[in-house]
Amino acid sequence: MKKDNLLRQLVNAYKRLQEALEIPLGEPLTLDGTIQRFEFTFELAWKTIRVFLEDQGIICHSPKACLREAFKIGWVDNEESWIVILKARNMTSHVYNEEMAMEIYEAIRNNHHLIQDLIVVLEEY
């Protein structure tokens, strides 16, 4: 089943993101690797939301639209924080300097638990 497979992939990606966040910063590869894992995890999160919403008869085509719908039905409870990580995700393709990379990293560190909360909700669904 597509949604079960996506959810399983999301769980695995989130575990990998957590592993990256446990590594102390110090090497540039740690920062870059964490951002890359976040990017992949976020993509899986919104696409999983999209598939679960389709089961509800709700069609959305963008991360922001899917997050808004998930908020409306109670799957996510902090829309503003999700927008923060959506913005961080959008910035990942424009990382040109370490300052911006650190800004993205801090957004990830401060908000990654939102993905875990989503996983819990979708696993119960």
Output the pLDDT for position 94: 76
d(CA 73, CA 92): 28
Output the pLDDT for position 55: 94
Q: Give the largest CA-CA distance in the chain.
A: 46
Q: Which residues of the chain have pLDDT under 50?
A: none
Output the pLDDT for position 26: 86
Q: Which listed residue (89, 109, 112, 113) is catalytic?
A: 89
Architecture of domain 2-124: Up-down Bundle (1.20)
Could you confirm whether 94 is annotated as catalytic? Answer: yes
CB atoms within 10 A of CB 65: 16
- How far from chain centre, in Å, is Cα 52? 15
Output the pLDDT for position 125: 84
Q: Which listed residue (37, 50, 61, 94) is catalytic?
A: 94
- How far from chain centre, in Å, is Cα 45? 5
d(CA 35, CA 108): 8
Could you confirm whether 89 is annotated as catalytic? Answer: yes
Token pair listed for 21: 């966040």
d(CA 2, CA 17): 22
Token pair listed for 33: 């690797």
